[in-house]
Structure 1
Amino acid sequence: MGFGFRKSFKIAPGVRLNVGSKSVGLSAGVKGLRYSVNSRTGSRMTASIPGTGIYYTTSGGRKRNTPAYNRQREIQARQKEMDRLDALEQAALEVDLYENKLERIHSIHKEADEPINWIKVRSANPPYHRNEGQIGFHEQTALEKLQNYKPNLISKLFKQSDKELENLKNEVIEARQRDEIDYRSWERDVRIATKVIEGDIDTYFEVIQEFNPLDDLLEFGSSFEFFAEDSKTMEIEFDVHSDTVVPKEQLSLTKTGKVSTKQMPKGKYFDIQQDYVCSCLLRIARDMFALLPLDTVYIHATETMMDTSTGYNRKITILSVKIEKRTLNKLNFDKIDCSDAMQNFIHHMNFKKTAGFSEVDRLTID
């Protein structure tokens, strides 16, 4: 890939920081990063990462909203009742799970987060003007509650007013601390946004690590490595693991309601595999363009396959594509065939319906 000398450092379970003579990269293959929601910036729903203060603007949170993902949630709810289902209901659920997995495989590219407006984040007003002696919202509310306190008859009768006053004073202290956290969070927001806008590559990788935009692909077993040498172009290696994703058997219900299991025809298996890989690549590009101010991404899909010349498994590149933001944004993601959509971009792919993918050379960055 032309990255020169590179070292790899393990910085967390499943996450490796790759440092080279010309580039820095982050490899993320671990689940668990999640989002908390706040409304400090107004009506926008924003996802924040504890300890960083970064906000990821979305249209209603990170909930996946395509029909396939909605169907998955319904099925998962039914799974919880599995023990109480009779044999026919269990069979129907098993087939539903199979069909939903195929739907999700073909819908991955439709799921993408809303772009972050880093300029808006950088220009956001502080929660309060601390330098002007102003106090924060939480402290102001707690102070008003303390100042307006009047012991009721029961408090006077049982001599609880002193204790209640002490509790209200403690609430003021806690509220002041919450305001301080909000203010520091705003400062970090501005700092991170400024660095992203300025094209600081180290900050790019920090943002990717924290937001983990491809979390649902990690659930399929995939993993990723990100590399960059300039602020407008990123290179991503996508380890597919399609053998754990694409079903090798077809499930259906018989007339009597039982599960029928048949071997997946090779042609159909390879067709699903191709759609899965291409759908993932489009999704990866969409999320990277939403998260960072990039113009171009190079994505290399890799797979571990048997090398018949040695008899050992070897990781190979099965698809390499250069995706430009301007071209990607012209696609109608609800209508496209993901495999056919590769024709819109410079790419290397050698795929046969009877044999699937074979090894290709990677594209090199212009």
Structure 2
Amino acid sequence: MGWRGTLRTLGAISREAERNSNRRARQRAKEIALSEKLEAREQAAEAVRDFEEYVEKLITLHRSCSPSINWQSQAAALAPAKPQLSQKSATAAQSRLDQYKPSWLDKLFGSTEKKLKKLSDALSAAKIEDQQRFREESTKFEEDLADHKDQVEFAKRILAKDPAAMLEAIKLYEPLHAVGLLGENLLIQIENPNLVVIDLSVHGEDVIPKERPKLLASGRASVKAIPKGEYNRLYQDHVCSASLRVTREILALIPVDAVQINAVDDLVDSATGHLKQSAILSYLAPRSTIEKLSYHAIDPSDAMKNFLHQMSFSPTTGFKPIERLEPPRALLTS
């Protein structure tokens, strides 16, 4: 093969290598594009799932509740046992001293007295150890006894429906602290041992979404405004669900007969055109009714029919301001 043939061969090899390189680059680009497309599709699907889960949480708050507090059990709790001086360390050290018998090597090297002194010193240290442990147990006992007395006294005050104690229990246990999606502000009043009145700030503007993501056939997600009627119904269900959850938490914590929830939010004042905090739901929930409902089956808005309540709502206009309920006289009688 002449030099021209060699050059042609080298050129062909070079062009083939370049074609292979370009082919690999195109394939890699396709793989990257496919990967990015799949990743974008998954991200879009995840955004839709997250939105649906969030909306579900908004309207199902009422389905969960903290365990009830057994105040009777706390009031009858036994006091901690008073510690007794234990001599287990000294007993063990004394046993080692009593059982010591000098070996022939101890006698040969004259180490008997040294070992006896060591065992005797260990016995003295063990007695000190027993005394120290007893002092520590006694100190802890005094602390536990004081805590027990406080617990029993507090439980008895709760059972006696002491308003101050019940309010303290709500602050102490913070039954609504871990509940997300509730209003940031809770104004709680316990002026009567039979009734707790709570103003619940809903903050619907911050909590209820106005847009929803939708997964398209292409795998992309589009964002569209939630229709006004659907938005208002979602808002209503959330307000009622949150109100039921607050009621359940309070009744699980303290032994009152009923809870009144006044849900409030900022609405446009038709007289001024400005936002004004107004009551949008006021309902009175007796314990007996709350305990009968099947919370995984009810619609929170429909559930208001079980209670004495005030609510002015329509899907087209949403909530309108209402007057708070006046509790029945029977509940205001101690």
Alignment of 1:120 with 2:68, yes or no, is no
The CA deviation at 1:175 is 4.6
The aligned residue for residue 264 of structure 2 is: 302
Q: How does 1:127-276 map to 2 (within 5 A)?
A: 127-128=80-81, 134-135=82-83, 144=88, 173-217=135-179, 220-276=182-238
The aligned residue for residue 62 of structure 2 is: 109
Q: Which moved more, 1:168-177 or 1:286-295?
A: 168-177
Gaps of 5+ in 2: 1-37, 97-114, 329-334
Given that residues 303 and 315 in structure 1 are in contact (C-alpha distance below 8 angstroms), is that contact kept between their aligned partners in structure 2? Answer: yes
Given that residues 348 and 362 in structure 1 are in contact (C-alpha distance below 8 angstroms), is that contact kept between their aligned partners in structure 2? Answer: yes
Of the three residues 29, 44, 48, the one matched with 1:95 is 48
- Seen in structure 2, the aligned counterparts of structure 1 residues 181 and 357 have a Cα distance that, compared at 3 Å, is same
Given that residues 83 and 134 in structure 2 are in contact (C-alpha distance below 8 angstroms), is that contact kept between their aligned partners in structure 1? Answer: no
Alignment of 1:336 with 2:289, yes or no, is no
- Seen in structure 2, the aligned counterparts of structure 1 residues 97 and 167 have a Cα distance that, compared at 3 Å, is farther
The CA deviation at 1:227 is 1.0
- Seen in structure 2, the aligned counterparts of structure 1 residues 322 and 88 have a Cα distance that, compared at 3 Å, is same
- Seen in structure 2, the aligned counterparts of structure 1 residues 174 and 327 have a Cα distance that, compared at 3 Å, is same
User: What amino acid maps onto 1:341 in structure 2?
Assistant: A
- RMSD (Å), alpha carbons: 2.9
Deviation by residue 1:229-269 (Cα, 9 ceiling, x = unmatched) = 22111111111111121111112323343322111111111
The CA deviation at 1:179 is 3.6
Of the three residues 301, 309, 312, the one matched with 1:347 is 309
Given that residues 319 and 360 in structure 1 are in contact (C-alpha distance below 8 angstroms), is that contact kept between their aligned partners in structure 2? Answer: yes
The CA deviation at 1:111 is 1.0
Count how many residue pairs are aligned between Structure 1 and Structure 2: 265
The aligned residue for residue 20 of structure 1 is: none
Deviation by residue 1:79-105 (Cα, 9 ceiling, x = unmatched) = xxxxxx944443333322211111111
Gaps of 5+ in 1: 1-84, 129-133
The aligned residue for residue 40 of structure 1 is: none
Structure number with larger C-alpha Rg: 2
- Give the number of the structure whose residues are more often helix, by fraction: 2
- Seen in structure 2, the aligned counterparts of structure 1 residues 173 and 249 have a Cα distance that, compared at 3 Å, is farther
Which structure has more RCO (C-alpha within 8 Å, separation ≥ 6)?
Answer: 2
User: What amino acid maps onto 1:95 in structure 2?
Assistant: V
The CA deviation at 1:198 is 1.4
The CA distance in 1 between the partners of 2:287 and 2:60, in whole Å, is 20
TM-score computed with the length of structure 2 as normaliser:
0.71
- Seen in structure 2, the aligned counterparts of structure 1 residues 148 and 319 have a Cα distance that, compared at 3 Å, is farther
SS of 1:202 mapped into structure 2:
helix
Given that residues 89 and 129 in structure 2 are in contact (C-alpha distance below 8 angstroms), is that contact kept between their aligned partners in structure 1? Answer: no
The CA deviation at 1:222 is 3.0
Deviation by residue 1:281-328 (Cα, 9 ceiling, x = unmatched) = 111111111111111111111001222321321100001111111112
Given that residues 146 and 169 in structure 1 are in contact (C-alpha distance below 8 angstroms), is that contact kept between their aligned partners in structure 2? Answer: no
The aligned residue for residue 291 of structure 1 is: 253
Given that residues 200 and 261 in structure 2 are in contact (C-alpha distance below 8 angstroms), is that contact kept between their aligned partners in structure 1? Answer: yes
The CA deviation at 1:171 is 6.1
- Give the number of the structure whose residues are more often strand, by fraction: 1
The CA distance in 1 between the partners of 2:163 and 2:302, in whole Å, is 33
